[in-house]
Chains A and B, each alone.
Chain A
Amino acid sequence: MRFIQSIHTAPMGPTWSNAEMLQVFEPLVERLPLRDETISELLDFLRFQLIGERSRQTCLPEFRSPGGFAERAAAAEAGVERGLLGLAEQIDRDGEPFDAVIGITSTAGIMPGISYRMAHHLGPGVRPDALMVDIAHAGCTAGFQALRLVSTLSESIRRVLLVSVETPTTLVSFDSLKRDVWQGNCTFGDGCVAVTLGQGETSGLGLVLELLETRQWSGEGLDLIRWGYGSYYQFALRDEKRFDADVREYVAGTLREREADWKSEPRWAIHPAGIALLVRLSRKLGIPGNAIAPSTAHYRRFSNMSSVSLLQILGEVAADLEPGAAINLLSMGAGFSVCYGRVRRA
């Protein structure tokens, strides 16, 4: 029986609020080589995207001037190291060494990868013959997919460390003429999370990996979310006008197929892809408003941290979970992929 023992988070850098972001964005947009009407529409779009109290962390030394390729890549690497150091300080080194380390990032293009860097910080906390795996390019669902991978590992691999670090603010682009790039500028924040997992008798959080399923739509959904390229990688959408509706249909369709699995469980950890999506999805499926509250609270504080967010929200929801109670997991992201699962407190 594979279970989650602990979930840890650590700071990534300074925090920027919506109001502060808008102050940076407005003069930049006004200088774009676009017609006045288009600039006005883009500004209105940004003001809506940045309505209300929301913030995000960034590992960029100076958010206003992210620099070129080398500066952004260096900032991502430095952000990864900062996150890993903060996580390593919290991981119990008195426990058995880890038999496997799984690292995740889609937004920091680094080598060596997260797993080796974390092992470097933990020293004897990772066995010399440990399984070392790095998952890249898997987008927002990578945290869930990693849990699913862990659930399939041999029983001989007893203790597993799963680490995700995402640095999407290094992708920020201030000279793009494309609305989807600006949507990405508004949506994401940097973050990191570490999850320790055991095998057999439960301890700590004691969250048993009860059900972990993925529905992949690589046929028609492949380019729904993808990278674009400028002076660095950029967030891009196939069709920003249809994006929300398309994602809702994939997610709602998948969950309708599994309704018997989740209907009776009131607690949810849902990837915060965006408040509009969460609210409309919950209404479409009859998920109570208070079930999405942990995700909306997380989104307000950290924005969308890609693969990190679901695992952090799970840690928050699980903090005061009674024995026998379950938490539904839901994530969606590039691929296109919809992941549904459930963990239960032993």
Chain B
Amino acid sequence: MASMTAEEILKLLHTELARPELTVEALGASTPREVLGDDSLDYIEVVAVLEEKLGIELDLQRLGPVLARGTFAELATEVSRGLAAQGG
């Protein structure tokens, strides 16, 4: 899998989450809790979808805290870093 910038990953998330009421920028500024609510299953689904689309395994130990407290933009940045670290 080729490397992807945080912006590209955010756009991918925007497509997969299918929230047309949110622009990509608005999604980036939002937290998973604000968009997905409190269901942990939805957080894991987001990770699982990204793994399928990107063809890599994501480190939940590293992403978990971002999912818990960060924004989607921060999540995209962490995923991009993970891709780069895996040689993508």
Contacts and interface: CB of A to CB of B under 8 A. Distances in A.
Contacts, number: 52
Contacts of A244: 60
B2 interface: no
16 contacts: A41-B65, A44-B68, A47-B68, A48-B65, A48-B68, A49-B64, A51-B67, A52-B38, A52-B40, A52-B41, A53-B38, A240-B61, A245-B57, A275-B44, A279-B45, A283-B52
Contacts of B39: 52-53
A53 B52 CA distance: 26
B16 interface: no
Interface string B36-80: 001111011101100110000101110011011100000000000
Interface string A46-86: 01110111100000000000000000000000000000000
Interface of A: 41, 44-45, 47-49, 51-54, 240-241, 244-245, 275-276, 279-280, 283, 296
Nearest to A44: B65
Nearest to A240: B61
Contacts of B51: 280, 283
B interface majority secondary structure: helix
A47 B65 contact: yes
Interface residues of B, number: 20
Contacts of B60: 244, 276
Contacts of B38: 51-53
A1 B65 CA distance: 50
A38 B45 CA distance: 28
A296 B69 contact: no
A279 B41 contact: yes
B64 A45 contact: yes
Query: Taking each of B40, B44, B48, B59, which has the highest tally of chain A beta carbons within 10 Å of its own beta carbon?
Result: B40
Contact of A276 (B44, B52, B68, B69): B44
B40 A45 contact: no
B40 A275 contact: yes
Nearest to B58: A280
B61 A51 contact: no
A279 B60 CA distance: 13
Nearest to B42: A52
A328 B4 CA distance: 39
A283 B65 contact: no
A54 B40 contact: yes
A274 to B, nearest CB: 9
Query: Taking each of A244, A245, A276, which has the highest tally of chain B beta carbons within 10 Å of its own beta carbon?
Result: A276
A244 B63 CA distance: 14
Contacts of B59: 241
B64 A48 contact: yes
B61 A45 contact: yes
